[in-house]
Structure 1
């Protein structure tokens, strides 16, 4: 069993069949980046149609038990998530409403500062806003996992402190292992470990680097070094793999509607387009290499199980439930 903490792109039936062939039983899917409430509802509607049309190979998961059941049935559980809080449009009550529609993971900010918190790409991380604290409290209450993957380090630390439940960095790596604005400081990783949070280690070359994008053993070496920082209970998988993306998709993901110019996101002018996939991860089916790769760098079976699925299931159990307070 394997859970991928985040993937994105245009999923189709082939995506689900190949994910299953890769040993994946659960995956957080990206339902939006810059979209507002109405567009986000459209996206959720399209996801429901997709799952309904492919119910023999996929299902929507609202609880950890749904993921486990999907694994037993030979299906892939899609966990609905958004990479930005734009879907709330400044309305606190929409948090609960989207949670009731099945949304389980929401990132506080994407690549730009918003009315909740500071982004990793801003020159100055503004920290968590008052509205951000309100949204975190409401996400805790409604049963949504707080994601800080593209959030600035200062804002992330404040989110960890403000949240009554553990939070996640669903798709990033340690900045001390590969320096990049999208990656997280050791202070953040240690704070995740101390509070029961989880980081999903990414396989996106732009934030993983060429060395850790080599053979599977080298990527698993990165995971082992991340465990040294955050602890074995706080490290998992979040590949950030994209499905069926084309140039317009990358433009939307990076530039949305906020600029007339060119923005490269995690890429650069030297490497502007689609980043080459890791050497070990040329196709979705290659995910089957991860368990043996983890054992090859010294993890026991129990430890490998925590990284491949156990840590996500534990975190989802603590966060995917509505509470009264």
Structure 2
């Protein structure tokens, strides 16, 4: 079974069927980027409708046990997540409310600094704000995994320190392997290793690089080098694959409502639109080659199991459960 730490886009029945064919038993989906509370509630309602309409191929997963059960049954476990904390709109009590609605993963910041902390694209990373620390701890209590994929390194390290549970970088790579602002420093990867956190290695060309995209062996070689830094227990898969995205969707992701100008996100003027997928990953179904690719570069069966699903399941078990004192 494969668990993908992050995908995005407009999912439909074909998306779920393609994930089934790829052997994906669990996937964190992106329910929003810049949306506020009411828009985020609308998104969750749409996701519930979509899953209900396709209940023979997918099911919403709220616990690690759910993810494993659904995946082993041949369906796709849908883990509800957001790539920004705008859904809370500055209200600490909304964290618990969204957790009760099934949200299990929230990224502290997207591409801009916000009231929680600094983004990877800011010239100066401000670190985790007082409110950010409060939100991290509230997410710990409510059973929501803290995601720092687009978060600046200083803020990420602060979040690791502030969190009472391990955190995730659901979709990024090692900056020492491909130099991009979206990728993480070795210091962050080592901090994840020491705290029990997990990084999901991405297959998004803009942050993976052409060299690691040329074949499954090349990409799995990148995963192996990431393991050398972060350790076998802290590396997993987070492809950042998108479904049915068009130009307006990329504009929304990158520009939102915060600018009138052009913003390329992880791209550039030379590669402004949709980045070509990796040569080995032309369709979603191609994810099925990952396990054998990992074996080819030297991983044992036990290590393949950890990277493809075991490390995510361990992290979900540690973070999706609310703290015991909240149940009393």
TM-score scaled to structure 1, two decimals?
A: 0.99
Number of matched pairs: 325
Between the aligned partners of 2:73 and 2:161, the Cα distance in structure 1 is 38
Give the drift of 1:133: 0.1
Name the residue aligned to 2:193: 193
Name the residue aligned to 1:236: 236
Between the aligned partners of 2:168 and 2:68, the Cα distance in structure 1 is 20
Give the drift of 1:73: 2.0
Counterparts in 2 of 1:111-122, with a 5 A limit? 111-122=111-122
Name the residue aligned to 2:250: 250
Name the residue aligned to 1:30: 30
Name the residue aligned to 2:205: 205
* SS at 2:209 equivalent: helix
Between the aligned partners of 1:167 and 1:284, the Cα distance in structure 2 is 27
Structure 2 alignment gaps of length 5 or more:
none
Does residue 129 of the first structure (1) align with residue 129 of the second (2)? yes
Give the drift of 1:185: 0.1
Does residue 92 of the first structure (1) align with residue 88 of the second (2)? no
Name the residue aligned to 2:166: 166
Between the aligned partners of 1:242 and 1:218, the Cα distance in structure 2 is 21
Name the residue aligned to 2:69: 69
Give the drift of 1:72: 2.6
CA RMSD of aligned residues (A): 0.5
CA deviation digits over 1:245-295, x for unaligned, max 9? 000000000000000000000000010000000001000111110001001
* SS at 2:116 equivalent: coil
Does residue 49 of the first structure (1) align with residue 55 of the second (2)? no
Structure 1 alignment gaps of length 5 or more:
none
Give the drift of 1:236: 0.1
Between the aligned partners of 1:281 and 1:206, the Cα distance in structure 2 is 14
CA deviation digits over 1:143-183, x for unaligned, max 9? 00000000000000010000000000000000000000000
Counterparts in 2 of 1:270-309, with a 5 A limit? 270-309=270-309
Give the drift of 1:69: 1.3
CA deviation digits over 1:13-43, x for unaligned, max 9? 0000000100100000000000000000000
Give the drift of 1:71: 1.8
TM-score scaled to structure 2, two decimals?
A: 0.99
Give the drift of 1:209: 0.1
Name the residue aligned to 1:181: 181
Between the aligned partners of 2:31 and 2:72, the Cα distance in structure 1 is 25
Give the drift of 1:194: 0.4
Between the aligned partners of 2:72 and 2:205, the Cα distance in structure 1 is 32
CA deviation digits over 1:220-248, x for unaligned, max 9? 00000000000000000000000000000
Between the aligned partners of 1:15 and 1:102, the Cα distance in structure 2 is 21
Name the residue aligned to 1:19: 19
